[in-house]
Amino acid sequence: MGKPTGFLDYKRETAQVLPPKVRITNFNEFRIPLSRERQTLQGARCMACGVPFCQSGMMLGGMASGCPLHNLVPETNDLVYTGNWKQAYNRLSKTHSFPEFTSRVCPALCEAACTCNLDSEPVATKENEKAIIETAFKEGWVQPQPPKVRTGKSIAVIGSGPSGLAAAQQLNRRGHSVTVYERKDRPGGLLRYGIPNMKLEKSVVDRRIRLMEEEGVKFVTNVNIGVDITGEELLKMYDRVVLACGASNPRDIKVPGRESRGIYFAVDFLGQVTKTLLDSDFAKVPYEMAKDKHVLVIGGGDTGNDCVGTSIRLGAKSVTQLEMMPMPPVERTPSNPWPQWPRVLKTDYGQEEAIAVFGHDPRIYQTTVTEFIPDKDGNVCQAKIVKLKSEKDPKSGRMQMVPVAGTEEVIPADVVLIAAGFLGSEKYVTDTFHVAVNARTNVDTKPDEYATSVPRVFTAGDMHRGQSLVVWAIREGREAARAVDESLMGYTNL
């Protein structure tokens, strides 16, 4: 695949990125794609290695290595190299429902497992994927694919995030009648209201939703299953139900002063910003949420980084990001060999912008908050923080992070954004369907299966596997669709 000596002849090249102080003036995507000619050279770098770990999707060292969708990476890279863009799109579509999403927000598990990563830089597979799908849209190759024959079977998909959309797309194309229920005012789930616009422009989500509607999928918004309609009522209306509501139960920080005003869960904050932008067609920016305020972000993951970038765009006076764990190493350690996911320091776009604006990295490692301090009106104005160290629990024998005496500090905090992850599914949804949940409150199924404890009810995505990546959600949605189709028809060709 590709050019046999391509990885030696050509250096890795990715899209140009607008300078931080330029891109923070708006909420637009800020990556400028390579020309088609330069992109083909990136396809040439694919090595034709005998065992392409890039498409393996295996679990190694407790983390995924390679693409969970098993995209045929060397084949698509080769087709980019030879300029067969339409064939590249057709090949990518065999395994992937929404390349336009993952090519923007996926951390590129394929690239981390690329053989080139052993001694040089990986093939720019993520950039190639984006070039393929955007070329396909531009050339008009992405067309609605309504089924020629309908089966007469009806399915309700609860949740319109990536897993729900993937399941709905597959089941509809199979010929079943699919209705997607979304409790928010617009479909898309966390693609819509959890990922900021500068990372994934909502016009990209709208484009795919329109296609699915033209294919025959029905979207019903502003309907909260478990509140507006019970699970029992839904099962009377449909032959099958797919629960794809995400791991939408955010982890809280329960310390003194938590009741102070100005403390938000990250997903609520990000969603409110995006909704304001969309409702006003980007004419109104909700500067009042952070302008001239000291913002404290609790959590060092992708969502925390999104909060940093969003707060800067809203004119924050300062941004501090707390991370409980130690700073990762700059390079792989011997205990983290290729092709495992590299546990190394990553400076994302939000942190880059904070460095450009404030002159320093916003992250403070091995630190947590012990108290929120309100002013006389009940609004948070400060936070007490403390350093942490790793110590073995004498009872369980497990390593845990414990406070270091004498390291307490008080910092300004007019807005606090809790980005500490999610605990699992929301109880009112699982209760209305009476489905069993596991110890982490994810919907319980047999290993590698998608049928719940309740007949005719299936599950997919973060609601099933716990908080994870968009690419995993898409795989789960596609696999759940296979299970649903087989239960309805006695076999499946999905």
Task: Assess whether pLDDT exceeds 80 at residue 379.
Answer: yes
Which listed CATH number (1.10.10.10, 3.90.1720.10, 1.10.1060.10, 1.10.260.40) goes with 6-139?
Answer: 1.10.1060.10
> Across-strand partners of 265?
418
pLDDT grade, residue 2 (50/70/90)? confident
Domain 154-248+423-489 fold: FAD/NAD(P)-binding domain (3.50.50)
In angstroms, the CA 248 to CA 240 distance is: 22
Read off the pLDDT of residues 324-364 as tens digits, 9 standing for 90 and up: 999 999 999 999 999 999 999 999 999 999 999 999 999 99
Encoding tokens for residue 422? 């999610």
Assign domain 263-418 to its CATH superfamily: FAD/NAD(P)-binding domain (3.50.50.60)
Task: Using alpha carbons, select from 168, 166, 208, 202 the residue that is nearest to residue 185.
Answer: 202
Q: What is residue 48's predicted lDDT score, i.e. its pLDDT?
A: 76
DSSP 256: T
Q: What is residue 1's predicted lDDT score, i.e. its pLDDT?
A: 65
Task: Using alpha carbons, select from 158, 162, 163 the residue that is nearest to residue 180.
Answer: 158
pLDDT grade, residue 101 (50/70/90)? very high
CB-based contacts of 275-282 (< 8 A; 24+ apart in sequence)? 275/185, 275/193, 277/27, 277/197, 278/186, 278/202, 282/27
pLDDT grade, residue 183 (50/70/90)? very high
Task: Assess whether pLDDT exceeds 80 at residue 43.
Answer: yes
Read off the pLDDT of residues 233-253 as tens digits, 9 standing for 90 and up: 999 999 999 999 999 899 999
Q: Which ranges in the chain are annotated with CATH 1.10.1060.10? A: 6-139
Q: DSSP characters for 193-224? A: HTS-TTTS-HHHHHHHHHHHHHHT-EEEES--
